[in-house]
Amino acid sequence: MQKVKVLLVISSKMTEMAQFHVEDRGPPDLRIWVVQQVRERSLMRILVLADIHSNWPALAAIQEPFDACLFVGDLVDYATDPVPCVDWIRKHAAVSVRGNHDHAVAQRIPVVKSNGLHQLAAATRPLHWKVLSPLHMKFLTRLPVTRKVTLDKKRFFLVHATPRDPFDEYLRDDKSAWQARLKGVDADFILVGHTHIPFALQLDGPMVINPGSVGQPRDGDPRAAYAIIENGKVELRRVKYDIDATLKHMRDSGIDAETLELATAVLRTGGRFEFDKLAQSVGTALDEDPNDVHDTVELAQFKPVETPKKKRKASKKKAPAKRKPSAS
């Protein structure tokens, strides 16, 4: 076997994100590889995910190459396979923030209502506490509520719902409402989730992006939703996944028949069934936008819960009322 000397010539300053041209020169016994930086790639390919909700088949179906993954909350609840979802985000997401369901699971908050989507959370949350390891729980507990990150000179601000109310406020593509809520937030891209409705909204300055929900879409399209940001452009994408596998996992995990029926309807219709059901429960016609009905119902269901008063000696200080996160 002939020995070959190799001389590597680096012709320019290289960075991790640059693209290179490699040229093989020289006589047969001396390989000279001239590595030239062709051009520096100006922007990364960023994968934005939200509202995975323990739906591993949905997350696994997203086969996109990416340089950085940003996750805007709600890893858990609603389905029954949180472990691979948490492991994937721990391993692959460069930045993650906490959703209201992550907070509730991490803080071991029981679901107090059993109607609508609360029924799904009520049935699946106790199972999470059985299958998630202390390491997984620690990860959920330590997720920040908001994060800022700069990638390729673009500033990203991540929050699950809105900066005004990071866990509970439902806000869709309402330009003036977002403009009002982003005062004091200095960023090029605002990444949010929570509504499970995808949109990309250009404001006077920043762009607000909701990639939609990976694990429980509610815009009538049952496919897993996500967003790709590349070269300054945003693409809202969808991919089919094996809904049967998600439902089978739920059945095998012991979810009761009624809850399974609800999950089947929600996942197969992309949330449309849920809108109808919720609308009927409050006697609201679906003449206009059913998504607004859904949001209204969810907000109407939310009421601050008073902290139980402990029996102890009278104190002049009052305990502040604690709010429990609503289902989303």
Is residue 74 within the footprint of Fe ion (CB under 5 A)?
A: yes
Enumerate residues 6+ apart whose C-beta is below 8 A from 51. Answer: 73, 74, 99, 193, 194, 196, 212, 213, 214, 215, 216, 328
Give the side-chain half-sphere CA count within 13 A for 215.
Answer: 27
Residue ranges of alpha helices (H) inside 197-286 are 243-252, 257-269, 272-281
Using CB under 5 A, count the residues that bind Fe ion.
Answer: 3
Shortest approach of Fe ion to residue 52 CB, angstroms?
9
DSSP sequence for 7-52: EEEE-S---TTEEEEEEEES-TTEEEEEEEEEEE--S--EEEE---
Q: Which residue number, 151 or 217, has a Cβ lying nearer to Fe ion?
A: 217
CA distance 102 to 117: 16
Q: Which residue number, 78 or 189, has a Cβ lying nearer to Fe ion?
A: 78
Is residue 51 within the footprint of Fe ion (CB under 5 A)?
A: yes
In degrees to the nearest 10, what's the CA dihedral of 238, 296, 181, 327?
-60
Shortest approach of Fe ion to residue 233 CB, angstroms?
26
Show the binding pattern over residues 248-287: x = contacts Fe ion (CB under 5 A), - = does not.
----------------------------------------
Stretch that binds Fe ion, among 21-29, 32-40, 66-74, 306-314 (CB under 5 A): 66-74
Q: Which two tokens stand for residue 195?
A: 């509504």
Give the chain's length.
328
Stretch that binds Fe ion, among 11-19, 218-226, 239-247, 320-328 (CB under 5 A): 320-328
Which residue is closest to Fe ion by CB? Answer: 74
Is residue 328 within the footprint of Fe ion (CB under 5 A)?
A: yes
Stretch that binds Fe ion, among 73-81, 248-256, 270-278, 282-290 (CB under 5 A): 73-81
- Using CB under 5 A, list all residues that contact Fe ion: 51, 74, 328
